[in-house]
Structure formats: C-alpha cells, structure tokens
Amino acid sequence: MQIPRTEQRNPESMGLYQMSSEEMARLVIRANEDAVHAVLDASEAIARAVDAVAASIETGGHLIYVGAGTSGRLGIIDASECPPTFGVDYDLFRGVIAGGKEAVFRATENAEDSD
C-alpha cells in the first residue's frame, strides 16, 4: 500500500538537523508555496463546494467540519468563530474531531482509524 503524499516525509527535510535556521525557514516557506499552488489548482472544485454549501444553508442545512488531528482542531476553531464573525447561529457550523473532545486538547494517535 502506498502512503499518500501528504503523509510522507518531505525528501528536502532529510538533512533537517544539519540545516541552519535560515535554511529551515526557506524549506518551510517553499513547502508552503507548494501548498498554495495546490490550492490554486483546486480553485474550481473549491468554488463548487462553496456553492453547494451555500445552497444547502439557504434551504435549512448546515456545515459540519470533520477531521482528525490538526485538521479536526482547525475545523472546530473555524466553526466556533463563524457566529461572532458573521452573526450566524451557533448550530449552523459544527466541528467534529476523531477522538472526541479529548482530542481537541491532546493528540489522540490513530483516532481517525478507530470505530
């Protein structure tokens, strides 16, 4: 089974412990540039998703962020900021994280693979 690219180690970071702080910073910045380009390449699909969510909300639906680890925590943070930022009901956006509330504050390894 091949490990997804997002779960693989960045080959450029293999000598991380021998790099200067500036070299490490440049490595992280280059990786972030790659991420930005990947998101730009997906802009059409992202726009379709936004339109689908907006249509659902207009007919009484809501948005549920579901994730594990950092992505789950970020979804919870984003969902919790929508009401004060946009003046929407607290139930309109929800966050769910693998491992439950405990996983918000403490890493819960492999929770995304647990029943």
Which residues are marked as active site? 81, 112
| Amino acid in position 70 | T
d(CA 97, CA 106): 12
Alpha helices, DSSP H, located in 43-100: 43-58, 69-86
